[in-house]
Amino acid sequence: MLTIASRCWLCQCPLHLAVQGICSVCLSHLPVAPPCCPRCGLPSSGGHHDCGRCLQKPPPWDAMVFATPYEPPVSGLVLRLKSSRFPEPDTALARLLLLRWLERYRGNTLRRPDVILSVPLHRQRYAWRGFNQSELLARPLARWLHCEYLPGALSRDRQTTSQQSLTERERKWNLRKAFTCHTRLRGKHVMLLDDVVTTGSTVREIGKILRNQGVASLQIACICRTLQT
Ligand SMILES: [Zn+2]
Ligand SMILES: [Zn+2]
C-alpha cells in the first residue's frame, strides 16, 4: 500500500519517488510570479536588475529567491508545515525552493552559499510548537546544496508580537534587538532561510546583524514571498 509520503501533497496521485512530494502536473500549474527584482523579490518591470526601491534604499542582502508567490496552493502547505509536526510537507517545500534556486544559479544570479542559517523562533515558541519550520526546510536544502547548516547561529531573544497588525514603524520597533548572532561569519557567503517573507522586516533586522559581522554576501531564501508592496 502507498503511504501518504509517496503521494502528491496537492492532488494525492501516487509518486514514483516519494522525495518529489509534488507531482509534475501540479508543479506545472503552480502560480508563477511576475518579473521580480532579483534583490527584494517584489514585482519590477526590469526583472533582471535591482529595482528603483533597492537602488534608492538598498536592503542589507544581495539577492532574494522564493519558490512561489504567497498564494494557494503552496500557502496552504506552508500553513500545514507550521501547524503539524507529522506528516509534514517539509521536503516537498524545500524541493520547490531548490528548483527555483537552481534556475537562478544557472542564470548566474545566485552563488552557492557556504552556510545556511534559518530565522529562529523564540525558545518559548519553539517549546510550544516543538519545532522550527524554517529549520525543517534548511536541513534538506543544505544537504542538496552541499553546504553547512548552522541551526544555533541565530537566536531570537525577545518574544515579539505578531507583525501583521503593526505599522512599518511599529514593526521596526518590535524587532529591534530581537536577534543575536552567535557564530563568526566574516567572509562567508550566507543564505538566510525563512518560510514566508511578507514585509521583509524580520530578514532586514537579521540582515543588518549579518552585515555588521562582515559576511561576504547574503541571500534570502523563502518558500513564499508576498508580492504586494
Ligand atoms: Zn499532484
Ligand atoms: Zn528591489
pLDDT tens-digit profile of 98-122? 999 999 999 988 999 999 999 999 8
* pLDDT interval class at 161 (50, 70, 90): low
CA distances from 49 to 41, 44, 136 (A): 11, 9, 31
Confidence of residue 2 (pLDDT cuts 50, 70, 90): very low
Report how far residue 153's alpha carbon sits from residue 166's, in angstroms, rounded to the nearest whole number: 28
| pLDDT at residue number 1 | 41
| Residue 191, pLDDT above cutoff 90 | yes
The percentage of the chain sitting over the pLDDT mark of 90, rounded to a whole number, equals 64
- What is the three-class DSSP state of 149? strand
Ligand 2 centroid–CA 176 distance in Å is 23
Q: How far is the centre of ligand 1, averaged over its atoms, from the C-alpha of 21 (Å)?
A: 8
Interval 133-152 mean pLDDT:
94
Q: Which residues surround ligand 1, an ion (CB under 5 A)?
A: 8, 10-11, 23, 26
Report CA(146)–ligand 1 centroid distance (Å).
28
pLDDT tens digits along 26-62 = 999 999 899 999 999 999 987 688 999 999 999 999 9
Q: Tell me what pLDDT residue 48 has.
A: 80
Q: What are phi and psi of 221, to 5 degrees?
A: -125, 135
In this predicted structure, the answer to whether residue 19 has a pLDDT above a threshold of 80 is no
Q: How many Å lie between the centroid of ligand 2 and the Cα of residue 47?
A: 9
pLDDT at 85: 66
Q: Which ligand is nearest to the CA of 23?
A: 1
Residue 207: is its pLDDT beyond 90?
yes
Q: For residue 62, give the ligand nearest its CA.
A: 2
Mode of pairing for the β-strands spanning 217-225 and 63-69: parallel
Over residues 160-172, mean pLDDT: 68
Helix 168-175 to helix 201-213 angle (10° resolution) is: 50
**Ligand positioned closest to the Cα atom of 59:** 2
Grid-cell match 532579483, residue found: 38
Look at residue 177 in the predicted model and tell me its pLDDT: 75
Predicted local confidence at residue 126, as pLDDT: 85
From the CA of 54, which ligand is nearest? 2
Instruction: Compute, in angstroms, the gap from residue 45 CA to the centroid of ligand 2.
Output: 11
For residue 156, the CA-to-ligand 1 centroid distance in Å is 36
As a whole number, mean pLDDT of residues 13-37 equals 88
Position 5 confidence tier, pLDDT thresholds 50, 70, 90: low
Q: How far is CA 36 from CA 51, 56, 167, in A?
A: 8, 17, 24
Question: What is the distance in A from the centroid of ligand 2 to the CA of 196?
Answer: 17
Q: What is the overall mean pLDDT for the chain?
A: 89
Q: Which residue has the higher pLDDT, 125 or 71?
A: 71
| Mean pLDDT for the stretch of residues 177-184 | 90
Please tell me the distance from the alpha carbon of residue 213 to that of residue 110, in angstroms, as a whole number. 21
- For residues 154-179, give the mean pLDDT: 74
CB 21 within 8 A of CB 91: yes
pTM: 0.91
Backbone angles phi, psi at 46, to 5 degrees: -65, -50
Res 166: pLDDT: 66
d(C-alpha 194, C-alpha 220), whole Å: 8
